[in-house]
Amino acid sequence: MTALGLVQVIQQQPYAVAISRSPWLFPFFETVHVLALTLVVGSVAMMDLRLLGVGHRDRRVSELMGSMLPWTWSAFAVAATCGLLLFSSRAVTYYENIPFRIKMCCLGLAALNMLIFHAIIERDIATWDEGTPPLGARVAGGLSLLLWITIVATGRWIGFTT
Ligand code: HEM
């Protein structure tokens, strides 16, 4: 099955048809999507600013991450679930939409950047947990901030191009 064939099947699912025909389901899921993503992007931005050495300098990086990450992951689960429901209602339109494709690519790159940070850069965090982090951590923080700003901007742009 082609990717286009798959999104056509998704769009014909009963829940997807129900969301597309309902006067309130799409706005409801989009509202929850926006509320959840503000918590995702807000908590990620706090951690990235700490990695850049410009925010929360009085807190150890590991302590800040320990208190933020549970919020980030819970809010991400809610944002992604609502995003998939919104997507299903007009799957073919979104699949062919350039801002949507850029947003999904940036989500993938943000995940890759996070994986490299946690798997490699964070390994010797004990040597830089207080004060200004090393270059690798600052680059990871800066890249993450740039990617999440792009995700929000392209997410907003979708509505103007569909
Ligand atoms: C946490 C990560 C995400 C962020 C930060 C994000 C951000 C956004 C933003 C800012 C909007 C515009 C909301 C508005 O203006 O009302 C949006 C809309 C949308 N997002 Fe996401 N999103 C995320 C994850 C996802 C995922 C995983 C999907 C689906 C696979 C998705 C699908 C959509 C769709 C379909 C819309 C509606 C576009 C429209 O107005 O027609 N999002 N997103």
The structural domains of the chain, with segments of one domain joined by +, span: 3-161
Of all protein residues, whose CA lies closest to atom 20 belonging to ligand 1? 83
Burial of 73 (0-12, 13-18, 19+ CB in 10 A): exposed
Instruction: State yes or no: pLDDT of 131 exceeds 90.
Output: no
**For position 111, what pLDDT does the model report?**
97
| Total H helices, total E strands in the chain | 7, 0
**For position 55, what pLDDT does the model report?**
85
Per-residue pLDDT averaged across 107-117, rounded?
A: 97
- How far apart (Å, rounded) are the C-alpha atoms in residues 71 and 1? 37
Pocket test of ligand 1: the residue of 31, 86, 104, 147 to mutate, having most ligand atoms within 8 Å of its CB, is 86
Taking only Cα atoms into account, the Rg of the chain, rounded to an integer number of angstroms, comes to: 18
**For position 19, what pLDDT does the model report?**
98
Of the chain, the percentage scoring pLDDT greater than 70 comes to: 100
Of all protein residues, whose CA lies closest to atom 33 belonging to ligand 1? 83
Of the chain, the percentage scoring pLDDT greater than 90 comes to: 96
**For position 135, what pLDDT does the model report?**
96
Write the DSSP symbol of residue 1: -
Q: Which atom number of ligand 1 is nearest to the Cα of residue 158? A: 38
Per-residue pLDDT averaged across 68-82, rounded?
A: 97
Instruction: State yes or no: pLDDT of 136 exceeds 90.
Output: yes
Instruction: State the pTM of this model.
Output: 0.92
Q: Which atom number of ligand 1 is nearest to the Cα of residue 41? A: 5
